[in-house]
Amino acid sequence: MLEAARANAQKQGLSEERFFVKTAIVGRKLTQKKIDIKGRGKHGIIRGTKSTCRIWIEEKNPADFYKMMLLGKAPPGIGWLLRRVMYQNNYDF
């Protein structure tokens, strides 16, 4: 899904270096039911569950993105990655 969203954003003219996932929503659709016929006159129900996924991508400057991370408004995974890079490079703050 993320690769498809990236391709669509590139077609719309956004630069790939400034992509930022604004929102990702995963939901559940209605289940599709089918009859499962078994031996000796028995049967059951097969439930086929499906899901939906929506991804909104926006374009931001790197400076705005770093400001957002320093203010603590970034997703937890991004903050963890930045802290790990800082610790590996032995930055003193």
The span from the CA of 51 to the CA of 66, in Å, is 33
Same domain, 32 and 70: no
Q: Residue 93 has what pLDDT?
A: 52
Only one residue has tokens 């097969």, namely 46
Interval 54-75 mean pLDDT: 80
Same domain, 21 and 49: yes
Same domain, 41 and 67: no
Same domain, 14 and 49: yes
Same domain, 52 and 14: yes
Same domain, 17 and 28: yes
Number of domains in the chain: 2
Residue from 61, 74, 85, 78 nearest 93 by CA: 85
The domain in which residue 83 lies consists of 61-93
Q: What is the pLDDT of residues 6-62, one digit of tens each?
A: 899 899 888 887 888 888 899 988 889 999 999 999 999 999 888 999 998 888 887
In terms of pTM, does the model score above 0.95?
no
